[in-house]
Amino acid sequence: MVRDLGLRLEVAKPAMPRDEFLWQNGADIMARDPDFCCARNKIDPLRPWVDRALGWVSGLRRDQGKTRDHVHVLQPTENGPVKVHPLATMTAADVADYMTRNGIPEHPLKAKRFLSIGCWPCTQAVLDGEDERSGRWAGKGKTECGLHTFLKAKEA
């Protein structure tokens, strides 16, 4: 897929291998402290790229729920790159239409009802009629991945 779309892929990995991380922090760390887990395994590995980036592109859309209905297309941050949300004003139907018109394949997990995909311990399939993000941190009260919260929005 990377080659088909003409992308350059760089892989960021956590400092600590998964098994060692779980041994040191407990196999239930994802349920006990998902923010800590996310910080160590997603945010920290991206720091070298974030520190030199001018923009951070994300696929957040306003129609994905109340926690995202305020998403700006461009959002300056306090100490980092500008957040860019090019899909912010699109709906799920708009995205599906765009993908069809441009020959972009669906993620294979969508067919298995994973409608919002995050890391495997914190993501589950969504039942028919449920909100597309209901499979994220189900029953935990958490609504956003640390990737979307660690860069604080600059107040106007």
Catalytic residues: 145
The SS3 of residue 99 is helix
Q: Give the contacts of 81 (CB within 8 A, at least 6 positions apart).
A: 50, 53, 54, 55, 56, 151
Place of tokens 């859309």: 61
CA pair distance 17, 93, nearest whole angstrom: 39
Q: Are the CB atoms for 139 and 124 separated by under 8 Å?
A: no
